[in-house]
Amino acid sequence: MARSGRSQSTVDEPLPLRPPGAPARLLFFGLVAAGTLLAWYGLTRWGGLPGFLLPSPAAVGDRFLVALRDGSLVRHTGVTLSEVLAGLGLGVVAGASLGYGLAKSPRAERLLSPYIIASQAVPIVAIAPLLIIWLGPGRPSKILISALIVFFPILISTIAGIRSVPNDLRDLMRSLRATRSQTLRLLEAPAAAPFFLGGLKIGSTLAVIGAVVGEFVGADEGLGFLVNLGRGLYDTALVFTALLVLVAMALGLYSLASVLERKTLRWREVGKDH
């Protein structure tokens, strides 16, 4: 017997889970942001924490506007963003190239993977001062640190993506006498795209961390420098301002990677409809 006036089939079959639409996502984001702001305000208002330990949202807002008006925030953000984009680009090119090579050559992977994994066990903060000595205190050292952090997730996702191509499809390409570049363009790249773009989403946020680590160690520009400066001057509102811009930068890059993922992988949705 049907309950609540629904048909029998509706009761027996679970409703498919549909991803929330854009308005619902925006509403959720707004609610979480408002809740966080309220909790933050409550902590500063009634938590007994002095402003130099936890500045109020209003104090951070004021500091943000001051830094925006005097041009320092835009200048330092531009520096960090340029390092992040260059590091991300370098890390993606290096990781994807080596990843493709290793995916195609299990022998090379067996030979090189111990070294690659070992390189990831070295804390980047420990070698950052050395990189700054070797490359000098300018932007190249920050770009390299950023690229080094991005490299590994891109490498691993590329290997996984290329290895995910079914053998029968490879056989099909071979039977059609496809060239190596045709196989890459028409089979391997589309098949590896979901993995690669997943790695890119991780790498885009890590690139921000990499650049800031470099700026922490030695820099006179960039948002990492601004955090250091704020700490040194006990200007905690400035520290929060720089951190919030860094978070926004990482979120922006992640969102761009997500948009790229949706656009690139649209063909998969088309395939599902048929």
Residues of this chain that interact with another protein (CB under 8 A) are 49-53, 129, 132-133, 136-137, 217-220, 225, 228-229, 231-236
Helix extents (H) in 70-183:
72-104, 106-121, 124-135, 139-163, 167-175, 180-183
Measured between alpha carbons, how far is 226 from 77 in angstroms, rounded to an integer?
Answer: 10
The 10 Å Cβ neighbour count of residue 3 is 8
Residue whose CB is less far from another protein, 188 or 215 = 215
What is the smallest separation between the CB atom of 242 and another protein, expressed in angstroms? Answer: 14
Min CB(66)–another protein separation in Å: 13
For residue 57, CA distances in Å to 36, 43, 223, 252 come to 10, 10, 19, 21
CB of 44 to another protein, least distance (A): 13
For residue 71, the minimal CB distance to another protein (Å) is: 16
Q: How far is the CB of 218 from another protein (least distance, A)?
A: 3
Q: Smaller CB distance to another protein: residue 233 or 248? A: 233
Sequence-separated (6 or more) residues with CB below 8 Å from residue 141? 128, 131, 132, 134, 135, 214
**Residue closer to another protein (CB basis): 161 or 222:** 222
CB of 161 or CB of 218, closer to another protein: 218
Closer CB to another protein, 208 or 217, in the complex: 217
Specify burial of residue 261 (Cβ count, 10 A radius: 0-12, 13-18, 19+).
middle
Tokens of 8: 């029998």
In the numeric block, the tokens 């017997």 are attached to: 1
CA angle (40, 41, 47) in 5-degree steps:
85
